[in-house]
Chains A and B, each alone.
Chain A
């Protein structure tokens, strides 16, 4: 076990870095899907938008000002984008997931193509800000400092989101809406506001994740679908509308993705979907997916 860990330590730490990044992306997707039953395939496009904001403002050799500016601007764009997506999908709320998927897939194509028109289709590199661009020794191996910091940021964000959703009245409102939104409305709460709020908040996290993930993934066409698929797998594994599920799912998928690439490079993507299939066979509603509210 010790020798195995020595050999794969970098892979395991990488898995945590990717896992926490995935959590930041997936938690918004999970809440919007779980709460409002809206399948938002444009979530990956919001991540991509954040990645290009990072590439434009921070670039390959960023200053702290550029990096923090990119985080701030992507957060604002994410909030606005989430609000717009909420308004666009509102008329489709009671229609099938296919209708919602078509609309949000269309939004994705428009956003992705616009970014290609502006920035070209070559991948853009995004560097880590000064001081975080080196490596530090971790149990004898050298490991990029930025990825360790990313693990820290992800862990702090995970704890914050968890505390807000599980321990505050606002969070209780969100969980109640996930369980049975009609009964929330029947108590005098305008659940359109909750919907817009959660949509905007989730999209903000996705856009910020795009900047944070820049030093790992860069900014390139097609990144949106890569991230979206990983996030969807996380949501399915974790269970719809569950923050705990999104965190656990993200950490599992981070490890499966990272170790799968190291240990079984030829079949890495099969390993990912193998894990998904396994969870679906054992727990069809996901690891933390509860029963949905009783609907009459």
Chain B
């Protein structure tokens, strides 16, 4: 099967400094790829570059065979959604307003407002509340709902479990499972190795701006020495 996302020799960075130094990566529809690596190796920069929020220096990215547009709003309309690090919800807007804006340029698909609220019922109880007053876990749910409502083909999830309670992390695992079942491809950047191993079909490891290792999750789990060497964890 040809990949949904195909990244070749992608280079990008900020104001003269190169962060991504030739990333190669493919991702198939309906699969979840865990992107691991130490801090500062370029995982978040890859996510932001794919969303068009960090400019590409060189390289190609195609989505379903077509070149990915360069401006973020066109990338979003092509079917890429972002759940960014730190959630980046809009604090003064209510939950309901978040959902309304997310649906504005949504592609057609099964993720309607009702479907998303069914999956994340806590949000349904807080539609009129300003997002800034939600708990961290609820804000993460809102960031995920905002992405799902666009009916994406590819979701970029950057550290969704960061600082959250185990119950919320379980909910995130469930949501990722649902996305996979719907045929959505997920690129999951994650520090929590256990979470990554629990939900991902494959694991890629980045180091100094390139992908240095890629394998299916089972092989990664059964090879702790490689994990230790690449990630500095046991």
List the interface of chain A (C-beta within 8 A of B): 169, 172-173, 175-176, 178-180, 182-191, 290-291, 293-294, 296
Per-residue CB contact flags for chain B residues 173-193 toward chain A (1 = under 8 Å, else 0) read 000000000000000000000
Shortest CB-to-CB span from A246 to chain B, Å, is 15
A294 contact from B51, B82, B86, Cβ within 8 A? B86
**CB within 8 Å for A190 and B90 given contacts A176-B101, A182-B53:** no
A-B CB pair tally, cutoff 8 Å: 88
Do residues B76 and A187 form an inter-chain contact, with CB atoms below 8 A?
Answer: yes
Shortest CB-to-CB span from B131 to chain A, Å, is 9
Do residues B105 and A290 form an inter-chain contact, with CB atoms below 8 A?
Answer: no
Question: What are 17 of the A-B contact pairs (CB < 8 Å)?
Answer: A172-B101, A173-B104, A176-B93, A176-B97, A179-B90, A179-B93, A180-B90, A182-B53, A182-B88, A183-B90, A186-B76, A187-B102, A188-B73, A188-B76, A188-B104, A296-B44, A296-B84
CA distance A182 to B88 in the complex (A): 9
CA distance A191 to B71 in the complex (A): 10
Q: Which residues of A contact B100 (CB under 8 A)?
A: 169, 172
List the interface of chain B (C-beta within 8 A of A): 44, 48, 51-53, 71-73, 75-77, 81-82, 84-93, 97, 100-102, 104-106, 132, 146, 150
**Could you list 7 further interchain pairs (A-B, Cβ under 8 angstroms) beyond the known A187-B102, A187-B105, A188-B73?**
A179-B91, A182-B88, A185-B52, A185-B73, A186-B75, A189-B101, A296-B84
CA distance A101 to B110 in the complex (A): 48
CA distance A195 to B92 in the complex (A): 19
**CB within 8 Å for A188 and B150 given contacts A169-B101, A172-B97:** yes
Q: Which residues of A contact B101 (CB under 8 A)?
A: 169, 172-173, 176, 184, 187, 189
CA distance A63 to B97 in the complex (A): 45
A187 contact from B44, B85, B93, B146, Cβ within 8 A? B146
CA distance A178 to B132 in the complex (A): 14
CA distance A278 to B117 in the complex (A): 46
Do residues B85 and A189 form an inter-chain contact, with CB atoms below 8 A?
Answer: no
B73 contact from A176, A179, A189, Cβ within 8 A? A189
Q: Which residues of A contact B106 (CB under 8 A)?
A: 188
Do residues A175 and B93 form an inter-chain contact, with CB atoms below 8 A?
Answer: yes
Do residues B44 and A290 form an inter-chain contact, with CB atoms below 8 A?
Answer: no
**CB within 8 Å for A290 and B92 given contacts A190-B73, A296-B85:** yes
**CB within 8 Å for A186 and B53 given contacts A169-B100, A176-B101, A290-B132:** yes
Shortest CB-to-CB span from A163 to chain B, Å, is 15
Q: Which residues of B contact A291 (CB under 8 A)?
A: 91, 132
From A294, which residue of chain B is reached at the shortest CB distance?
B86
Kindly list the 6 A-B residue pairs having the minimum CB-CB distance in the complex, ordered from nearest.
A188-B105, A185-B72, A188-B76, A179-B90, A172-B97, A294-B86
From B87, which residue of chain A is reached at the shortest CB distance?
A294
Q: Name the residue in A173, A187, A189, A296 with the highest tally of chain B Cβ atoms < 10 Å from its Cβ.
A: A187
CA distance A159 to B81 in the complex (A): 36
Q: Which residues of B contact A186 (CB under 8 A)?
A: 51, 53, 72-73, 75-76, 81-82, 84
CA distance A190 to B76 in the complex (A): 10
